[in-house]
């Protein structure tokens, strides 16, 4: 069953149209990836789904409800959570405060203790640095905190924008492992990645975005074998 669906979205910034009728849907409990080159509209699609920018046309459905015009904070309350590109932490606040802010929505608040334990277990570094300002963390730790903050929100669907960007390969591997753990906890995940090879390797299903439209979709294993994908994104 699809838990989140974007139907024929067009959107952009000011006069500039970025999305030209993109559709995608996430199956509940699956790890889905959205891949594609630089500037094809992956982030714009996520931001439109989240409500940070409004779709020009098309609609967005979450758990069978039309949420096209709802603001981001209402969607967060419903369980649709985004880990934004560039982490966007509260850099002047402590690691703990950042995690606490994650648990703002009424569903997450009563589970804050359990989720905090889960985050600290997944990222022990964050526990060590709980009283440090988020701005003083290394890039990798900041990404852990961004994901941790998302987990604190007790998401039904977690949208992650550019998880691996600028991180050391060892860390990327670890974070991808963490994503699988989250999927096993029944969290539906949409991962936006430039690292197409790794994204296809860990995900169940994939969408390929090109020039503001979904050009290809399918089970990740099949996409990884697709001639066009191999030539355009995997350099094979």
Partner 1 sequence: MGNLFIASLIDGLLIGFVYGIAAMGLSLIWGVMNVINLAHAPIMALAMFGVYLLFVSLNLNPYIALILIALIGLIGGVIIYYIAIHRVLSAPPLSTLLATYAVNMIMIGLGTAAFSTTPRNVNFTLGSIGSGDLTVQGTRLVAAIVATVVTGALYFFLYRTRPGKNIRAVANNRAAAELMGIPSSRVLALSFGLGTLLAAVAGGLIATFFPFTILAGNAYQLKSFVIVVLGGLGNPIGSLLGGLILGVMEGVIPIFMPNSWVPVLEFILFVIILLVRPTGLFGAKK
Distance CA 145, CA 131 (A): 13
Q: What residues from 177 to 236 belong to the interface with partner 1 (CB under 8 A)?
A: none
Phi then psi for 159, rounded to 5 degrees? -100, 125
- CA-nearest of 168, 104, 112, 179 to 138 is 168
Question: Hey, CA dihedral for 73, 75, 81, 84, is it positive or negative?
Answer: negative
CB under 8 A: which stretch of 23-31, 60-68, 75-83, 219-227 binds partner 1? Answer: 75-83
Residue closer to partner 1 (CB basis): 32 or 105: 105
- Do residues 204 and 26 lie in contact, with contact meaning Cβ atoms separated by under 8 Å? no
Site string for partner 1, 51-70 (x = CB under 8 A): -x------------------
Q: Considering CB under 8 A, how many residues would be counted as binding partner 1?
A: 25
Token look-up 């090109």 returns 210
Distance CA 5, CA 216 (A): 16
- Maximum pairwise Cα distance, the chain: 50
Q: What residues from 135 to 164 belong to the interface with partner 1 (CB under 8 A)?
A: 149, 153
From the list 21, 39, 57, 91, which residue makes contact with partner 1 (rule: CB under 8 A)? 91
DSSP structure class, residue 40: S
Residue closer to partner 1 (CB basis): 52 or 132: 52
Pairing of strands 2-13, 205-210: unpaired
Residue closer to partner 1 (CB basis): 187 or 198: 187
- Do residues 27 and 205 lie in contact, with contact meaning Cβ atoms separated by under 8 Å? yes
From the list 35, 60, 67, 89, which residue makes contact with partner 1 (rule: CB under 8 A)? 89
Q: Compute the least distance from the CB of residue 119 to partner 1, in Å.
A: 14
Site string for partner 1, 95-134 (x = CB under 8 A): --x--xxx-xx--x--------------------------
> Which residues of this chain interact with partner 1, rule CB under 8 A?
50, 52, 71-73, 76-77, 81-82, 84, 88-93, 97, 100-102, 104-105, 108, 149, 153
């Amino acid at each position: 069953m699809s838990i989140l669906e974007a139907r024929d979205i067009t959107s952009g910034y000011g006069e500039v149209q970025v999305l030209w009728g993109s559709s995608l849907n996430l199956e509940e409990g699956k790890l889905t990836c959205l891949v594609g080159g630089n500037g094809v509209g992956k982030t714009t699609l996520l931001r439109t789904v989240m409500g940070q920018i409004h779709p020009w046309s098309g609609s967005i459905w979450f758990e069978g409800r039309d949420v096209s015009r709802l603001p981001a904070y209402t969607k967060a309350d419903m369980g649709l959570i985004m880990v934004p590109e560039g982490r966007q932490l509260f850099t002047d606040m402590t690691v703990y405060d950042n995690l606490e802010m994650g648990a703002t929505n009424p569903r997450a608040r009563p589970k804050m203790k359990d989720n905090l334990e889960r985050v600290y277990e997944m990222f022990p570094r964050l526990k060590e640095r709980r009283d440090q300002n988020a701005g003083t963390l290394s890039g990798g730790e900041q990404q852990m905190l961004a994901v941790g903050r998302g987990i604190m929100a007790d998401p039904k669907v977690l949208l992650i924008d550019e998880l691996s960007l600028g991180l050391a390969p060892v860390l990327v591997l670890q974070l991808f492992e963490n994503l699988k753990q989250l999927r096993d906890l029944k969290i539906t995940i949409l991962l936006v990645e430039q690292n197409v090879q790794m994204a296809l390797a860990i995900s169940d299903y994939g969408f390929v975005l090109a020039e503001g439209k979904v050009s290809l979709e399918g089970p990740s294993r099949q996409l990884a074998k697709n001639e066009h994908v191999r030539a355009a994104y995997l350099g094979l």
